[in-house]
Amino acid sequence: MDRNSPQHPTEGFQSVTLRWHGYDVPAGDDGVAGVTQDAVPIGGSFVYRFRADQAGTYWYHSHQVADPQVRGGLFGGLVVTPTEGLRDVEGLGNTGDVTAVTHVYEGRRTVNGLEGDVPAEGAPGTRVRVRVVNTDNGPVQTWVGGAPYRLAAIDGHDVNAPTPTTDALSVTAGARADLEIDLPADGAGVRVEIGGASAVTFGRPLPVTPRPARDLDPMHYGAPAALAFDRNDERTALRLLVDGIWGEPLFDRLPPERMHVVTRNAGAMKALTRSTEPFPDLSRLEVATLRMPVLLLNGDRANDLHRRVIDELALVLPGAQREVISGAGHGAPSENPVGFNRVVFWTLLHGGRT
């Protein structure tokens, strides 16, 4: 999916906005009434537009008078699958996909709006992924009866090297947990118990299963993933670095000349991130002892991280020259070379003083 454009009318409800829980969207589509948009009044409408390029399990809910509106059911699941689809694991065929949105209405636990057992499709001998979405303001206990499961993802992010378990799992308020289950080849029943009052069921009928005595601790589950540079996946490493610095998915949109500069520096970045030697601990007092001319430079499109660094250095070095390059971000030398060179040459000629 390239673009998501849900439109919600408000006829018959209070004014509303939509908040995309856990999903990265532009600020103007984040649904915070009075901050990023006006609340949509009765009879009005608003179209949310964003790229659905973040695969995983999420949800959305009203964010205007949110407590009574969410308790009343103004929410829904949001599932974004990879372009290539869910992977074929261990020859079990394409993984089946079931979304289980759970909510308590006036003390009654429901799954997808239904009480009690909710049958789901899943052929014997295949693997299914059950996406549990907790839309309440408290945790819900989840466990599987009839088969072990793997905790495949938490809050939209895959777990590395998940292993089979039969432990109970606490899905916290607003959280999501993707459970992968290998259905028995003989069609025996499997129950994904949600809160002890509702369940997603597969296969032949199976009685309600009691909650396991042990709880799964996600902090000690799975295995650490190898760093991208450690597995020689330089492109992924650079994407994580660039997108992390900028706070948005910028890497894949870099023009060819900027991409060339970034990939050219991959070796240096790899050495820095894999080095076991700590970076020097340089205090503010030590920085303030600098006696040479200092030029503090950033572009007017610099991200928040870089602006904060420059702001902090300006406080410590009040005598430093500070300049902003128009039409540039972190890559000012290539984004506006004329403006960059003018400032640098002026600084060299005048010793960094105005």
Residue 1 lies in a domain: no
Task: Summarize the confidence of residues 195-209 as an average pLDDT.
Answer: 96
Instruction: Please indicate, yes or no, whether residues 298 and 247 belong to a single structural domain of this protein.
Output: no
Residues spanned by the domain of 184: 96-220
Instruction: Please indicate, yes or no, whether residues 56 and 123 belong to a single structural domain of this protein.
Output: no
Instruction: Please indicate, yes or no, whether residues 31 and 72 belong to a single structural domain of this protein.
Output: yes
Number of domains making up the chain: 4
Confidence of residue 87 (pLDDT cuts 50, 70, 90): low
Instruction: Please indicate, yes or no, whether residues 214 and 136 belong to a single structural domain of this protein.
Output: yes
pTM: 0.70
17-36 pLDDT tens trace: 999 999 988 888 989 888 88
Instruction: Please indicate, yes or no, whether residues 44 and 23 belong to a single structural domain of this protein.
Output: yes
332-344 pLDDT tens trace: 888 899 999 999 9
Task: Summarize the confidence of residues 43-53 as an average pLDDT.
Answer: 91
Residue 46 lies in a domain: yes
Instruction: Please indicate, yes or no, whether residues 63 and 147 belong to a single structural domain of this protein.
Output: no
Residue 17 lies in a domain: yes
Instruction: Please indicate, yes or no, whether residues 113 and 177 belong to a single structural domain of this protein.
Output: yes
Confidence of residue 92 (pLDDT cuts 50, 70, 90): very low
Determine what percent of the chain is predicted with pLDDT higher than 90: 53
Mean pLDDT of the chain: 88
Residue in the block written with tokens 């009928």: 205
Instruction: Please indicate, yes or no, whether residues 69 and 169 belong to a single structural domain of this protein.
Output: no
Higher-scoring residue by pLDDT: 343, 247: 343
Confidence of residue 107 (pLDDT cuts 50, 70, 90): very high
Residue 89 lies in a domain: no
Determine what percent of the chain is predicted with pLDDT higher than 70: 92
Instruction: Tell me: pLDDT of 186 over 60.
Output: yes
Instruction: Please indicate, yes or no, whether residues 200 and 242 belong to a single structural domain of this protein.
Output: no
Instruction: Please indicate, yes or no, whether residues 55 and 158 belong to a single structural domain of this protein.
Output: no
Instruction: Please indicate, yes or no, whether residues 123 and 211 belong to a single structural domain of this protein.
Output: yes
Max mean pLDDT among 174-178, 289-293, 296-300, 348-352 falls in 174-178
What's the half-sphere exposure (Cβ side, CA atoms, 13 Å) at 121?
Answer: 3
Residue 136 lies in a domain: yes
Confidence of residue 232 (pLDDT cuts 50, 70, 90): confident
Show which of 18, 51, 80 is a domain's final residue: 80
Higher-scoring residue by pLDDT: 210, 347: 210
Instruction: Tell me: pLDDT of 1 over 50.
Output: no
